[in-house]
């Protein structure tokens, strides 16, 4: 009997048990290998797309910062600036001009001067408008219509300005007055015209050529020039409460003064006929009237508050005279009209 062969003991793996079994390598078929390669390509494509999107976002972020950095340099803004405005222009009127132009700052680009000039054409306060754009500013060159009178229509106020000879609206021998929007203006003495018959509702920018309104504004304009020449520090116009033209051309009473200036204390100043018509009514000339009025004004300490100061109860400029009557004489004789 053949003895059985003894089974050899399995050799331990580092002396701690049986060695691990070796897995047999599986051989993939050609179809499986193709599927695996396709799967790898898909994953690689997705990764590439994500990376590309990330790079694009970074690039756009950089470009956005670059554009924002460069935009002020490529499109600079220029500040609106009025060139040589008259001294009486106040901040409220400056703001009105800026609003009509479209603001205080504008892009310094081609065509902006024409746009601003077109916008300002509708503003009655200025005329002969020119706009010049520099590398830093937008310059406004213009003439300014200076108001000397005011009228009221209901509760609404309007300024009146005489059309100047350099204005394109001016006509030789045909005085014209333009209505302006009311803006609070403390830099000028502006006198209210009372007794003016308005045939239609006034509109800012309207031009009036009626003799009553044009001659009255002419008179107030002349008084304003006299103030500038002889008493700029204490203008006579500042002491006037208004000018009454309700009897213009004697339409109510031919023997009464056609135009009456009223001082703030109630003293009436009888000017007489419309400015320029003194010869028609055999009155003192306009020059004599002005000389008499301003001589009296200076001799009495730059005041025409005659009633308040007990100087006289009225001033009559219609007739050539050497002196203003004393209070007792005026009270006894009346205003002389």
Number of domains in the chain: 2
pLDDT in tens, the chain (337 residues): 555 545 444 443 333 334 445 555 455 565 556 666 556 566 555 555 544 555 554 444 544 443 333 344 456 899 999 999 999 999 999 999 999 999 999 999 989 999 999 999 989 999 999 999 999 999 999 999 999 999 998 889 999 999 999 999 999 999 999 999 999 998 899 999 999 987 777 889 999 999 999 999 999 999 999 999 999 899 999 999 999 999 999 999 999 999 999 999 999 999 999 999 999 999 999 999 999 999 999 999 999 988 888 888 999 999 976 555 554 444 344 444 4
- Whole-number pLDDT of residue 71: 41
Q: Is 0.75 surpassed by the pTM of this model?
A: no
- Whole-number pLDDT of residue 199: 76
Closest CA to 83 of 125, 146, 137: 137
- Whole-number pLDDT of residue 38: 59
- Whole-number pLDDT of residue 54: 53
Residue range of the domain that includes 127: 77-144
133 in the same domain as 219: no
- Whole-number pLDDT of residue 41: 64
- Whole-number pLDDT of residue 81: 96
Q: In terms of residues, how long is the chain? A: 337
- The packing angle between helices 286-299 and 211-230, to 10°, is 40
Residue 5 CA to chain centroid, in angstroms? 122
Q: How far apart are CA 108 and CA 317, in angstroms?
A: 57
- The reply to whether 230 falls in a domain is yes
316 in the same domain as 193: yes
Q: Could you tell me the two tokens for 72? A: 């002020």
Q: DSSP per residue over 235-258, as a string?
A: -GGGGEEEEE-TTGGGSS-TTS-S
125 in the same domain as 89: yes
Q: How far apart are CA 120 and CA 97, in angstroms?
A: 8
The answer to whether the beta carbons of residues 113 and 133 sit under 8 Å apart is yes
The answer to whether the beta carbons of residues 122 and 145 sit under 8 Å apart is no
- Whole-number pLDDT of residue 49: 56
Q: Among the three residues 122, 144, 166, which one is the final residue of a domain in this structure?
A: 144
Judged by DSSP in three states, 271 sits in: strand
End-to-end CA distance of the chain: 177
- CA separation, residue 103 to residues 111, 122, 204, 319 (Å): 16, 15, 21, 54
Collect contacts of 98-101 with beta carbons under 8 A, ≥24 apart.
101/140
168 in the same domain as 135: no
325 in the same domain as 221: yes
196 in the same domain as 168: yes
Residue 170 CA to chain centroid, in angstroms? 24
Radius of gyration of the chain from its Cα atoms, rounded to whole angstroms: 46
Collect contacts of 312-317 with beta carbons under 8 A, ≥24 apart.
312/267, 313/267, 314/267, 314/268, 314/269, 314/270, 315/267, 315/268, 315/269, 315/270, 316/257, 316/270, 317/269, 317/270, 317/271, 317/272, 317/284, 317/289, 317/292, 317/293
The answer to whether the beta carbons of residues 191 and 242 sit under 8 Å apart is yes
Q: How far apart are CA 147 and CA 132, in angstroms?
A: 27
- Whole-number pLDDT of residue 40: 52
The answer to whether the beta carbons of residues 192 and 242 sit under 8 Å apart is yes
- Whole-number pLDDT of residue 198: 79
Closest CA to 261 of 228, 233, 231, 296: 296
246 in the same domain as 123: no
- The reply to whether 3 falls in a domain is no
Residue 132 host element (H or E): strand 126-133
157 in the same domain as 93: no
- The reply to whether 27 falls in a domain is no
- The reply to whether 10 falls in a domain is no
Q: Could you tell me the two tokens for 219? A: 């008179």
């Amino acid at each position: 009997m053949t003895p059985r062969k003894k089974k050899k003991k399995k050799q331990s793996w580092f002396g701690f048990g049986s060695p691990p079994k070796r897995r047999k390598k599986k051989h993939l078929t050609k179809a499986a290998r193709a599927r695996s390669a396709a799967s790898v390509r898909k994953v690689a494509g997705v990764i590439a797309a994500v990376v590309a999107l990330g790079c694009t976002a970074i690039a756009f972020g950089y470009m956005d910062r670059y554009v924002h950095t460069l935009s002020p340099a490529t499109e600079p803004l220029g500040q609106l600036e009025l060139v040589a405005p008259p001294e009486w222009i106040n901040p409220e009127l400056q703001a009105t001009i800026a609003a009509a132009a479209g603001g205080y700052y504008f892009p310094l680009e081609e065509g902006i001067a024409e746009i601003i000039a077109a916008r300002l054409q509708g503003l009655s306060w200025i005329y002969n408008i020119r706009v010049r754009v520099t590398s830093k500013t937008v310059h406004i060159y213009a003439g300014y219509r200076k108001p000397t009178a005011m009228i009221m229509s209901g509760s609404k106020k309007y300024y009146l300005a005489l059309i100047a000879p350099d204005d394109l609206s001016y006509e030789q021998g045909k005085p014209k007055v333009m209505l302006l929007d009311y803006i609070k203006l403390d830099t000028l003495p502006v006198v209210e015209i009372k007794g003016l018959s308005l045939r239609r509702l006034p509109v800012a920018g309207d031009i009036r050529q009626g003799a009553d309104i044009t001659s009255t504004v002419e008179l107030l304009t002349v008084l304003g020039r006299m103030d500038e020449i002889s008493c700029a520090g204490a203008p006579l116009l500042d002491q006037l409460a208004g000018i009454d033209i309700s009897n213009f051309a004697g339409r109510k009473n031919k023997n009464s003064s056609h135009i009456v200036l009223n001082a703030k204390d109630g003293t009436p100043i009888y000017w007489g006929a419309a400015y320029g018509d003194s010869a028609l009514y055999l009155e003192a000339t306009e020059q004599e009237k002005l000389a008499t009025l301003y001589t009296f004004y200076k001799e009495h300490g730059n005041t025409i508050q005659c009633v308040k100061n007990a100087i006289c109860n009225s001033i009559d400029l219609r007739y050539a005279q050497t002196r203003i009557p004393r209070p007792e004489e005026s009270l006894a004789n009346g205003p002389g009209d």
